[in-house]
Structure 1
């Protein structure tokens, strides 16, 4: 499996020893502890996959014997997160069973300077207060909500508070006035060690407004101030899976899906892809561990009644065609990408049962950056595009909440929460439906969007992308544009017929009713 070169690790260990950060080895011990474990550091975090059905004591024993320590074990899927300073941990635990995305990206040793999510704000500005947020009604600037008829849908329903959308992202600002009534701190958690941490400090945003922006698209309050989300009547859970360097390692995502599965979350929004590769290849050493662990986590969440929605990236890539991933970690070679129907895929969007979302601008044309591909896209939604100018001089990107106020971002990251919001409306009007049934309704309520006859965005005479398929299902838009009004006007759910392996209907395992907002004193105390 990919690990830091032993020479690099040894050099770092020597430096730490000289600095007094490590204890000196016993003379003649040759840097080997009595247990036979090499301890030069740095301590890396690993995702470890076991045979299904492995009991927790057995998994712990195997990790310990391989010179590691268990951070958390998820017996439902037989996946663990472990740490070890021994560069041979992967070999000791067994071939093809452990992988350190942290080690491959170089963040554990400070080698990587790449920041994946570049929308950053200072820590001070992230600690917003109610008084500092403008109170003007910004609804007229929300062209995206009008595009999916969200304002008309709200005349029928704004969603049921028993429906909870887990925002797997960089954290949600608990003080924002548009979000504090919807945000449920009891269902919020940080996953940046791979193990759930329910403290406010673990799930509140620190360096990125991304999660707060996504949350506002889903459920910002309909109070005549600021912006309004697609489903302002549902609840939100902040599930932090983006670290301060902008990375979403697979163990973070696994933790997020397992939290959703075990805490009654109805829908998850995933506006990211797992690191350290944009495309994870199951036939490459190490990455098959990520592929298997992610599959188990997503499948388990689905089996527990969770509908998962995910963005398909901003690479303008045809996800069904061969290519090369040039977005590899620092100091690592690029590797072949063969699309979602082969061994390489964008995770979690390509997972079975996940609703994959592309992005359109205000003109309902595929955004220039949005990835696409026939069979890779389920539905589309507004994500904004600077090439498509909305009417009335509004910003071409999507306006939503950010810590301390409001901001405009473009991306499939913004398209996915529109779909999660429509799914939340469907879950509100069709309580007890399985993820498969909600997915079928999402596809049925979407408005078909035909392939454009000309997709030459820069007037160069060359098509910038090719749309295949037909009006009601194609590579740019899948089944079409989600529509909130259609979603709440569907009436009784048409039950699926024939044999099915889908999960039983979700039960409300979490608290009911409105969330209890978290106060400034709790945030300051890190509770």
Structure 2
């Protein structure tokens, strides 16, 4: 008989397997009769039972009575699917907002549940497990879902990963994106002088999760570009200059140009769609925010509040103030701090700023970039395709990390460009930096910054509960040291490179092999 349960935003219909059970052992268990061991999944041995339904139950009871067995359970299949789902005995419970403490205690007692953990964000949540006197977790979840004081009751179901469904991006211009993987093919490239992104894709099978949203605040974004569009790609676009949900380029020479945002976006999130290029996190969603063109208290508040309110995980800003001595106002300082510490349901939006391209100290007597020196920001300098400092890149004690970009002796950045044409003095001219849909001459800390944003997108796709502060620490610990070792102080920091060059592969490995607070 099938059981239909609420799960997330949908429903899941489960059917009990007629010949599979699963056991999780404490150390080892004695031979269980009438079974063949198939494989391990999530710490459980998947066992095939030889016999009828009655023998299934007796075999499962035999397994549960074995002193070496910690848990024995039925195995289920989602309706219409052939991949086994194993309930591990844990459930997630959320009560209605008006549920009393007595009602909560009664539920735990009535269903003989052991509370493993209580979480307070994004709302009060209990992780519980069934005990020896509970019914199985599937029936428990079904019964709980019928309780008036319960909003959420979901069993934790273990399912294997089908690695065969993953394929590396094969976009035709990927070979031009040396900043994702540098094979050292010519004199302007040194093997390994890259961000480690392609190696991270290949080793960890991650391209960016669909629930990770990378917001980019910049000028116009060409959402007609095949690499930046898609029915499920773009989230909450907005043009703050015209207050419309269309951030497309509005300015063309000689009145100005809106090319920059399109180029930045491709580096972070361009689709892996066998067309053009691939962003560092091609599977992530994209929130394009066209800024209003000037910096003031109200604008900064609007941009960062809008991004956080609409679910941004990461906010990438490849711009600096026009003023050479720009100290943030209290409102600006607090708007960014609030976003970076309270956004993303209290985990903090990861806010990333470009250091700038004037070859100056970002915090000195003669020059101050208040955004780049904000304590909650990841500030990005630029290195080159030959692992040297980009000669234009700003520097200073507040530089957090560097990322590959253009620079003397190296190559420029190949990325998306504004498509189509515009009319000027009776002449039709190509829009964008170059003719066509792509440019190979982008660069500066403007391109280094969205590259870091894309790498952070990969990290949050591996562990979505990382705080913004934890992301900064992970990047610090896993950066690849480049340049003269004497440029780094005793703490491993350089005013030119920060803690080193972004290293996606090492950062993901660190996330997978360490525990984090998640708050």
TM over 0.5: yes
Q: 1:357 to 1:183 in 2, by over 3 A?
A: farther
Q: Deviations over 1:489-512 (max 9, x none)?
A: 234374567xxxxxx75xxxxxxx
Residue 433 of structure 1 corresponds to: 466
After TM superposition, give the deviation of residue 298 of structure 1 in Å.
Answer: 0.3
Partner of 1:490, secondary structure, is: helix
**Residues of 1 paired with 2:231 and 2:403: CA distance?**
23
Q: Pick from 148, 152, 160 the counterpart of residue 195 of structure 2.
A: 148
Residue 381 of structure 2 corresponds to: 358
Q: Pick from 137, 153, 172 the counterpart of residue 137 of structure 1.
A: 172
Q: Pick from 181, 200, 207 the counterpart of residue 158 of structure 1.
A: 207
**Residues of 2 paired with 1:449 and 1:299: CA distance?**
30
Work out whether residues 380 and 415 of structure 1, in 8 Å CA contact, stay in contact via their aligned partners in 2. Answer: yes
Residue 265 of structure 1 corresponds to: 312
Work out whether residues 222 and 248 of structure 2, in 8 Å CA contact, stay in contact via their aligned partners in 1. Answer: no
Q: Deviations over 1:164-196 (max 9, x none)?
A: 000011132111111103875441112227xxx
**Residues of 1 paired with 2:459 and 2:171: CA distance?**
30
Q: Is the deviation greater in 216-225 or in 230-239?
A: 216-225
Q: Pick from 337, 342, 346 the counterpart of residue 299 of structure 1.
A: 337
Give the RMSD, CA atoms, in angstroms: 2.4
1:388 equivalent in alignment to 2:409: yes
Residue 510 of structure 2 corresponds to: 490
Q: Deviations over 1:225-250 (max 9, x none)?
A: 2111111010110011153xxx5555
Work out whether residues 389 and 483 of structure 2, in 8 Å CA contact, stay in contact via their aligned partners in 1. Answer: no
**Residues of 2 paired with 1:279 and 1:261: CA distance?**
28
1:443 equivalent in alignment to 2:476: yes
Q: 1:429 to 1:311 in 2, by over 3 A?
A: same
1:218 equivalent in alignment to 2:268: yes
Work out whether residues 384 and 398 of structure 1, in 8 Å CA contact, stay in contact via their aligned partners in 2. Answer: yes
Residue 278 of structure 2 corresponds to: 228
Q: 1:185 to 1:425 in 2, by over 3 A?
A: closer
Q: 1:481 to 1:308 in 2, by over 3 A?
A: same
Work out whether residues 377 and 475 of structure 1, in 8 Å CA contact, stay in contact via their aligned partners in 2. Answer: yes
Partner of 2:501, secondary structure, is: coil
Work out whether residues 212 and 403 of structure 1, in 8 Å CA contact, stay in contact via their aligned partners in 2. Answer: yes
After TM superposition, give the deviation of residue 153 of structure 1 in Å.
Answer: 1.8
Residue 438 of structure 2 corresponds to: 406
After TM superposition, give the deviation of residue 364 of structure 1 in Å.
Answer: 1.2
Q: 1:364 to 1:259 in 2, by over 3 A?
A: same
- 1:17-166 to 2 correspondence within 5 Å? 137-146=172-181, 147-155=194-202, 156-166=205-215
Residue 15 of structure 1 corresponds to: none
Q: 1:384 to 1:444 in 2, by over 3 A?
A: same
Work out whether residues 239 and 292 of structure 2, in 8 Å CA contact, stay in contact via their aligned partners in 1. Answer: no
Residue 259 of structure 2 corresponds to: 209
**Residues of 2 paired with 1:294 and 1:173: CA distance?**
28
Residue 376 of structure 1 corresponds to: 398
Q: 1:227 to 1:471 in 2, by over 3 A?
A: farther
Instruction: Show structure 1 runs of 4+ deviating over 6 A.
Output: none
Q: 1:174 to 1:212 in 2, by over 3 A?
A: same
Q: Deviations over 1:256-307 (max 9, x none)?
A: 11111211100000101234x13213xxxxxxxx521211110110122211
Partner of 1:143, secondary structure, is: coil
Work out whether residues 281 and 454 of structure 2, in 8 Å CA contact, stay in contact via their aligned partners in 1. Answer: yes
Q: 1:413 to 1:348 in 2, by over 3 A?
A: same
Residue 64 of structure 2 corresponds to: none
**Residues of 2 paired with 1:398 and 1:205: CA distance?**
24
Q: Which has the higher contact order (CA 8 A, sep 6+)?
A: 1
Work out whether residues 217 and 418 of structure 1, in 8 Å CA contact, stay in contact via their aligned partners in 2. Answer: yes
After TM superposition, give the deviation of residue 437 of structure 1 in Å.
Answer: 1.1
Q: 1:259 to 1:369 in 2, by over 3 A?
A: same
- 1:179-218 to 2 correspondence within 5 Å? 179-181=228-230, 184-192=233-241, 197-200=243-246, 202=247, 204=249, 206=251, 207-218=257-268
After TM superposition, give the deviation of residue 402 of structure 1 in Å.
Answer: 0.9
Q: 1:321 to 1:295 in 2, by over 3 A?
A: closer
Work out whether residues 203 and 239 of structure 1, in 8 Å CA contact, stay in contact via their aligned partners in 2. Answer: no
**Residues of 2 paired with 1:253 and 1:204: CA distance?**
21
- 1:484-523 to 2 correspondence within 5 Å? 484-492=504-512, 494-495=514-515
TM-score w.r.t. the length of structure 2 is 0.56
Residue 132 of structure 2 corresponds to: none
